[in-house]
C-alpha cells in the first residue's frame, strides 16, 4: 500500500458548524441546522480531535475550549452525562451512563494528556475525575471510558480514579468466546465496533497486561479482515452485520471507518505488524474514494465529511459526526505517513 503523505485534516467546516455553545449536530449539505441542536457525543469527539492536533491553531484550540465547557455543563454531580441540548441551551434529556458518558471520558482524558492550553487540561482533569467515579453496563460506554483513562495514565501514572477504572474494566471483561470463526464478543457487528478491541489494547498497555492487549490485537485483526474486501475497506453498515449476511452492506457510516483508524493507530504503537498502518491508510483511502461505491466521502476544500455511503450514491449532508470522523482518520494517517517517510 502507498506510503505517500496523507492529506492534512481541514477544520474549516467544523469551525463553521460551531458557535459559542457547541458544534451543531446536523447539516443540510454544508449548512448547519441549528434547529437540531447539539450533543455531547459530538462535543467529546471535538475535544479529541482538537487537542491531539499537532501545533493547533488558535481557532482549533478555541474548539477545544467550547467542547470542554459543554461537557462540563453536561455532567451531573454523579458523573453521569446528558447528551442532547437544543439551540437555546436547554438540556433535553436526563444524565445517564450510556455511550455519551464514555465518550465524555475519552474526550476529557485526551485533553488532559494532549492539550496545549493549561486551563483546558486543568478543567478536563476535574471533569474526568467526576465522571470516572461512575461505571456503565454498556460495553461501548466502558470501552470509550477506558480510552480516556489510558490517556490520563500517560501523564499521571499514579492517578487513582483512572487506574481504578482500568482495573475494574479488565476484571469485568467477559472471557473470550469459544467459536474461532466468530470470536467477536457480540452475536452481530453493530456500530463503532473497533473501540471494543481498542479498549483491550489500551487497558492492556496501561496495566502492563500483555495477555489483554494481545487479545485486543487478535480481535482487531479479525475485525479488520471482516471489514476488508480486496484492497479496500467494506465497513459494517448502519444496520449491522452478522454471519451469512450479504456483503457489501449499506448504508456505510464514517464513524465505523474512524473507529477502525483509531484502533489501528493504537495497535501500531504496540505491535510492529504492517497490518496496522495499512489499516489506517485504508481508512483514509475510504474517504478518498477507495470504497464499495467508488465515491469521495469528504470535501477536501472545507474538511466536511459526507454522512453516509449508499449503494446508489452518497448522502452529501455534512454533519458533525461525519466531519469529525474524517478529521480523526486523517490525523492518524498523516502522522503514520510522516513517521514512515
Give domain status of residue 51, yes or no.
no
Give domain status of residue 300, yes or no.
yes
Split into its structural domains, the chain has a count of: 1
Give domain status of residue 322, yes or no.
yes
Write out the chain's pLDDT in tens, 341 residues. 555 678 999 999 999 999 999 999 999 999 999 999 999 999 999 999 999 999 999 999 999 999 999 999 999 999 999 999 999 999 999 999 999 999 999 999 999 999 999 999 999 999 999 999 999 999 999 999 999 999 999 999 999 999 999 999 999 999 998 898 999 999 999 999 999 999 999 999 999 999 999 999 999 999 999 999 999 999 999 999 999 999 999 999 999 999 999 999 999 999 999 999 999 999 999 999 999 999 999 999 999 999 999 999 999 999 999 999 999 999 999 999 888 76
Question: Could you list the residue range(s) of the whole structural domain that residue 318 is in?
Answer: 173-341
Give domain status of residue 252, yes or no.
yes
pLDDT tens sequence across 112-121:
999 999 999 9
Give domain status of residue 158, yes or no.
no
Q: What is the 3-state secondary structure (H, E, C) of the chain?
A: CCCCCCCCCCCHHHHHCECCCCEECCEECCEECHHHCEEHHHHHHHHHHHHCCCCCCHHHHHHHHHHHHHHHHHECCCCCECCEECCCCCECCCCECCHHHHHHHHHHHHHHHHCCCHHHHHHHHHHHHHHCCCCCCCHHHHHHHHHHHHHHHHHCCCCHHHHHHHHHHHHHCCCCCCCCCCCCCCCCECCCCHHHHHHHHHHHHHCCCHHHHHHHHHHHHHHHHHCEECCEECCCECCCECCCCCCCCCCECHHHHHHHHHHHHHHHCCCCCCHHHHHHHHHHHHHCCCCCCCCCCECCCCCCECCEEECCEEECCCCHHHHHHHHHHHHHHHHHHHHCC
Give me the CATH number covering residue 252: 1.50.10.20
Give domain status of residue 307, yes or no.
yes
Q: What is the pTM of this model?
A: 0.97
Give domain status of residue 6, yes or no.
no
Give domain status of residue 105, yes or no.
no
Amino acid at each position: 500500500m502507498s506510503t505517500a503523505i496523507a492529506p492534512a485534516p481541514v477544520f474549516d467546516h467544523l469551525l463553521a458548524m460551531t458557535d459559542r455553545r457547541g458544534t451543531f449536530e446536523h447539516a443540510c449539505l454544508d449548512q448547519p441546522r441549528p434547529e437540531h441542536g447539539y450533543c455531547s457525543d459530538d462535543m467529546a469527539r471535538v475535544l479529541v480531535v482538537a487537542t491531539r492536533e499537532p501545533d493547533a491553531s488558535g481557532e482549533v484550540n478555541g474548539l477545544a475550549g467550547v467542547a470542554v465547557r459543554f461537557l462540563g455543563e453536561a455532567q451531573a454531580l454523579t458523573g453521569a452525562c446528558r447528551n442532547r441540548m437544543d439551540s437555546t441551551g436547554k438540556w433535553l434529556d436526563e444524565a445517564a451512563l450510556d455511550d455519551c458518558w464514555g465518550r465524555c471520558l475519552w474526550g476529557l482524558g485526551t485533553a488532559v494528556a494532549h492539550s496545549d492550553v493549561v486551563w483546558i487540561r486543568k478543567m478536563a482533569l476535574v471533569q474526568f475525575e467526576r465522571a470516572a467515579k461512575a461505571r456503565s453496563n454498556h460495553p461501548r460506554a466502558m470501552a470509550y471510558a477506558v480510552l480516556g483513562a489510558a490517556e490520563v495514565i500517560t501523564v499521571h501514572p499514579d492517578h487513582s480514579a483512572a487506574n481504578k477504572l482500568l482495573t475494574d474494566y479488565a476484571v469485568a471483561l467477559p472471557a473470550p468466546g469459544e467459536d474461532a470463526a466468530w470470536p467477536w464478543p457480540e452475536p452481530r457487528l453493530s456500530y463503532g465496533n473497533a473501540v471494543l478491541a481498542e479498549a483491550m489494547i489500551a487497558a492492556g498497555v496501561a496495566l502492563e497486561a500483555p495477555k489483554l492487549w494481545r487479545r485486543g490485537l487478535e480481535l482487531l485483526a479479525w475485525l479488520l479482515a471482516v471489514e476488508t474486501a480486496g484492497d479496500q475497506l467494506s465497513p459494517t453498515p448502519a444496520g449491522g452485520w452478522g454471519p451469512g449476511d450479504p456483503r457489501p452492506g449499506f448504508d456505510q457510516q464514517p464513524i465505523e471507518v474512524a473507529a477502525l483508524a483509531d484502533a489501528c493507530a493504537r495497535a501500531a504503537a504496540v505491535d510492529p505488524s504492517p497490518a496496522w498502518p495499512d489499516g489506517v491508510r485504508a481508512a483514509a483511502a475510504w474517504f478518498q474514494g477507495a470504497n464499495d461505491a467508488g465515491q469521495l466521502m469528504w470535501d477536501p476544500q472545507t474538511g466536511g465529511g459526507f454522512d453516509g455511503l449508499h449503494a446508489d450514491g452518497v448522502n452529501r449532508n455534512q454533519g458533525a459526526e461525519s466531519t469529525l470522523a474524517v478529521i480523526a482518520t486523517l490525523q492518524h494517517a498523516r502522522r503514520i505517513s510522516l513517521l514512515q517517510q
